[in-house]
Structure 1
Amino acid sequence: MRIKAAVERVPGGLMTVPLGCGAFLATVAPHMGEFFGSFTGALFTGALPILAVFYVCMGATISVDSLPMVLRRGGALMATKIGLGVLCGVVLGHFLGAQPVRSGWFAGLSTLAVVAAINDTNGGLYMALMKRYGTVEDAAAYSVMALESGPFITMVTLGVAGLSAFPWQTMLGAVLPLCGGMLLGNLDSELRTFLGGAAPVLIPFFAFALGASLDLHLLWRAGLLGLFLGLATLLTSAVVMVGVDKLIGGNGTAGIAAATTAGNAAAVPMLVAAANSRYAEAAKSATVLVASSVIVTSLLAPLLTAWWYRLANRECRIRQVKSGHPG
């Protein structure tokens, strides 16, 4: 049986197929991990440890000479996501304020829901897609983008940054595994080969764990509005970030891969409401809507990224032929 070949025929298959399996099991048997416990339970809940190891392995493949590119790419993509969140926060805040829409087709939609959905990128999905369709520097760029994780940036965007301090430990912890891998890889070429070869193997495992945190029932509960928020987040972010990615030397693929909503973003509305009670009412519906955006963007971003990657490569080959230098 050619299982691996069949999985790889699916766009981003090594990521999306395990993620879909995890989401399916989390929906039909939500307590399976707890029931079996031990190593089986760890497969359902171990996304962060596996991602930490993935960072070390990825870091080992990065040359010190490429660091400026990593910082430039990660910083540009992060700034763009934050900028989009600020723009939506200013525009929607002018019309809605802190409260959700109370009636009509958009009942439950709020500034908080939109900003939380846009601000935080799904790092595991981004790195898996970049491992398949991008460069090592593109994948490593998420170590910079990881600083947008959590409620802090959303609070800043909503104008309540004074209620929260940015923990420096979190900032440092986001890049330490990558830095450790880089140190080992640059000191020893054999370690670079050894650790770098393990990175692709880890992708299906953390993808399954990420999927196991998604309940597909949330997509149904959020209804068309949740679907709309997910599609709007993905498409709006992708259009803007493709342009930014091209400006910093990419072909747009990394921009689309970063146009997602992170799984932990679903917790942001409640954290913001805990810091500022003005958002307490909006947080209830925002949690479900953001969770829906997580699912929608996680399922569609790999398809859109794969399509754009093929399109960009075809255009590149056409330019090479016209210039008389077919690569």
Structure 2
Amino acid sequence: MADPGRSTVPLFTTMSRIPGGLMLVPLVLGSLIGTFAPGALDIGSFTTALFKDSALPLIALLIFATGTQVTMRTGGPVLATTGVVLLGKSVIPGLLIVALGAFVGPEGILGVSILALFSAVTNSNGGLWLAVTGQYGRARDRGAYIAGAVNDGPFFTLLFLGASGLGQIPFLAMLAALIPFILGVVVGNIDAQWRETLKPVPNIVIPFFAFALGTGIDLSEVVSGGLTGIVLGVLITPLTGGLVYLGYRFLLRRGNESPIGFAAGTTSGNAVATPAVVAAADPSFQAYAATATSQVAACVLVTALLAPLMASWLLKRNGAAAAIAQSEDAEARA
């Protein structure tokens, strides 16, 4: 007689063994559907709602649940970690791109425009960060998703190009991204039972919102981005993730746990729309928008593959992954 508690096909276990697999596998599957059968999920009702349109509400739920896990004891480390991620992933790279633009102009370098650089480099995939830190990180790392809420989309691109008159900085949009987290922090600190109830949320929602995000990635755009987009994606993880790694090691003094910083070396899926947003604000960038969009799409997929692999490999090599898991279990029992 079969054991009712035993999986016939261990899908969840297999996905969990892949670095960032809870997000990466559904993301790739969704992108295959979005590329080869884009209309398959448009039949309406619950099918479309769950598998195509659910990304934003499920990410919002994850953000709220993450906030409930941030207690007064962990709040300081969360803000410090968030600052380090923003510094290494957005601020320093953005300033370097500004300096490069002063020398080469908007055309950029080696077929990659300044618009493409800003769009791909200065933001990070918050969902992937939550997936990787949920598997290998601590509560302070998961709470640092705030960096992804701040740098997601066109915010930093518009900020760094603001001197060119590229429209208003969307502070209201940034505030809207932070409100679910703030409410989660409040609820988690006044009611421990809610904090405990929402602890399993990441494993539940990450595969579903990852699939929905994937349906918006057309692999033909990744291909059209060509070698320049792929090379840019390959460089983003070690360079920007490396800056966050250095912040972890020398500013946060996380020692063997510092490689978790490489999980920030990604490009957000929402960044694909950034070139069009910038071009709408300043038509002088219109000539670069189409190529930049395809290059950014390539970066989204390449960094989603590379960042979790690099972070997990270095964490395991340092022996930090097992130590973090044991420490988190001990804290949960305390």
TM over 0.5: yes
The alignment partner of 2:261 has SS state of helix
Q: CA RMSD in A?
A: 2.0
Moved more, 215-224 or 44-53: 215-224
Determine whether 1:6 maps to 2:14: yes
Closer, same or farther: CA 60–161 of 1 in aligned 2, 3 Å = farther
Partner of residue 253, structure 2: 249
Contact 1:32–1:41 (CA under 8 A) maintained in structure 2: no
* Matched AA of 2:44: G
Q: Which residue of 2 aligns with 1:39?
A: 46
- Where does residue 18 of structure 1 map in the other structure? 26
Alignment pair present for 1:212 and 2:215: yes
Contact 2:124 2:266 in 1 (8 A): yes
Contact 1:14 1:203 in 2 (8 A): yes
SS at the partner of 1:213?
coil
2-structure distance, mates of 1:272, 1:183: 36
How many residues matched?
310
1:32 is paired with a residue whose SS is coil
SS of equivalent residue, structure 1 residue 248: coil
* Cα distance in structure 2, aligned partners of 1:11 and 1:150: 25
Q: Counterpart in 2 of 1:325? A: none
Residue matched to 1:323: none
Partner of 2:282: 276
Which one of 45, 52, 63 corresponds to residue 71 of structure 2?
63
Q: How much has 1:7 moved relative to structure 2?
A: 1.9
Instruction: Write the distance in 1 (CA, Å) between the matches of 2:98 and 2:273.
Output: 18
Match of 1:239 among 236, 242, 245: 242
Structure 2 partner of 1:324? none
Following superposition, the deviation at residue 201 of structure 1 comes to: 1.2
- Segments ≥4 residues shifted beyond 6 Å: none
Residue 196 of structure 1 aligns to a residue whose secondary structure is coil
User: d(CA) in 2 for partners of 1:168 and 1:238?
Assistant: 26
Alpha-carbon distance, 1:171 to partner: 2.5
Q: Does 1:85 align with 2:94?
A: yes
Match of 1:320 in 2: none
Structure 1 residue 65, shift from structure 2 partner = 2.0
Q: How many percent identity over aligned positions? A: 36
CA 1:72–1:161: 2 relative to 1, 3 Å? farther
For structure 1, list consecutive stretches of 5 or more residues without a partner in the other structure. 318-327
Structure 1, 47-56 or 204-213: larger mean CA deviation: 204-213
Candidates 221, 225, 228, aligned match of 1:225: 228
The structure-2 alpha-carbon separation of the partners of 1:167 and 1:25, relative to structure 1 and needing over 3 Å to count, comes to: same
Partner of 2:153: helix, strand, or coil?
A: coil
In 2: Cα distance, 1:128 partner to 1:315 partner: 14
**Counterpart in the other structure of 1:296:** 302
Taking the aligned partners of 1:116 and 1:245, their CA distance within structure 2 comes to 24
SS for the counterpart of 1:99 is coil
1:307 to 304, 313, 317: 313
Name the residue aligned to 1:192. 195
Counterpart position of 1:135: 138
**CA shift at 1:315, angstroms?**
10
Q: CA shift at 1:155, angstroms? A: 2.3
Deviations along 1:105-132, one digit per CA (max 9) or x if unpaired, are x34x211111211111011111111111
Q: Is the contact between residue 100 and residue 282 of structure 1 (CA under 8 Å) also seen in structure 2?
A: no
User: How far apart, in 2, do the equivalents of 1:199 and 1:288 lie?
Assistant: 30
* C-alpha contact 1:128 1:203 (8 A) present in aligned 2: yes
In the TM superposition, residue 176 of structure 1 has moved relative to its aligned partner by 1.3
Deviation at residue 137 of structure 1 after TM alignment: 1.4
Q: Given that residues 160 and 276 in structure 1 are in contact (C-alpha distance below 8 angstroms), is that contact kept between their aligned partners in structure 2? A: no
* TM-score normalised by length of structure 2: 0.87
- Equivalent pair of 1:66/1:137 in contact (CA under 8 Å): yes
TM-score if structure 1 supplies the norm length? 0.89
1:289 CA drift (Å): 0.7
Q: Is the 8 A contact 2:136 2:321 kept in 1?
A: no
Distance of aligned partners of 1:211 and 1:219 in 2 relative to their CA distance in 1, 3 Å threshold: same
Specify whether residues 315 and 276 from structure 1 end up closer, same or farther in structure 2 by C-alpha distance, changes over 3 A only: closer
Shift in alpha-carbon separation, 1:171–1:152, aligned structure 2, 3 A: closer
Q: Quote how far apart the aligned CAs of 1:48 are.
A: 0.7
Q: CA 1:315–1:207 in structure 2 vs 1: closer, same or farther (change >3 Å)? A: closer
**8 Å contact from structure 2 (residues 153, 268) kept in 1:** no
The one-letter code sitting in structure 1 at the alignment partner of 2:28 is G
Aligned to 2:330: none
